[in-house]
Amino acid sequence: MLTGRHVIEPGDLTVGEIDEICSLAEQMIVDPVSFQDVCRGKILATLFFEPSTRTRLSFEAAMLHLGGTVEGFADASYTSSTKGETLADTIRVVSSYVDVIAMRSPKEGAALLASKYSPVPVINAGDGGHYHPTQTLTDLLTIRGLQGGFENHTIGFCGDLKFGRTVHSLAKAMSRYKNNKFVFISPEELKVPEYITEDILKPAGIEFTTAEKLEDVIGDLDILYMTRVQKERFFNEQDYIRLKDSYILDKAKMKLARKDMIVLHPLPRVNEIQPEVDDDPRAAYFKQVKYGMYARMALIAKITGCL
């Protein structure tokens, strides 16, 4: 039963609940008209204490497609937090007006704190480097829609694997399904944290390897999850210059990939995927955006008790 539940991290949802949400989202994709009024009378608050394009607009579009309404803010400078109001008080006030809250904050743990003061469900839309559960739902729904399910995949994570919350969340989520293998592609400076490999993957018996160059392993992948390599993460510019082009996906690298591989990216991108790749049928990152709206529609409908 998802009604009334907070969703702060991907682990708040069981495998069965993820399947339930994805199944509902797939129904919404096929027949959106049947769901256009299910949340009529419900109000979503979008509290975004840091900038966002896709996530905020996706949440708002999701609620509007369900027949509900939206209020909130996209810039904390227009809120009473500038006067010193605490997050706890903000949540107490906002939850008096609405049925569900989607909140993003640059502060890790902010969504969990908000959930302790909110009588209505809180959905974490990103809290610093911690969690982004609806991005994980987006990624999972995309994988299920385009690759047929969550099992028996070789998944390559490429770029900034040290600080990438979307990478950590998806790796944890996919480790719950059978026969998945991971390939972590990054410079040494940005390798995946040990808590992912030592505390999650190894105890679960998940097979994983590491690589420093994308072209060395791209041919083995069913799914390539790209992220940006950030210059500011390196201790010296020479290492960045040496490695940066290894993490730019272009047509030449795509020629080495399987015909049925898909490319995902949480967006926004900078230069890590060249525009020339966009027309490749395996480029799924803009389809991923659309899947994200339906994933949020299904989640909102479930936790508000609309369905």
**Distance from C-alpha of 64 to C-alpha of 72, rounded to nearest angstrom:** 14
Contacts of 222 (CB under 8 A, 6+ apart): 147, 153, 154, 155, 258, 260, 261, 262
Catalytic residues: 54-55, 83, 104, 132
The CA–CA distances, whole Å, from 167 to 4, 30, 117 equal 28, 29, 29
Burial state string for 90-125 with b = 16 or more CB within 10 A and e = fewer than 16: bbeebbeebbbbbbbbeeeebbbbbbebbebbbbbb
Instruction: Give the integer Cα–Cα distance in Å for 13 and 84.
Output: 34
Rounded Cα–Cα distance for residues 170 and 150 (Å)? 11
d(CA 260, CA 69): 39
Distance CA(165)–CA(171), nearest Å, equals 10
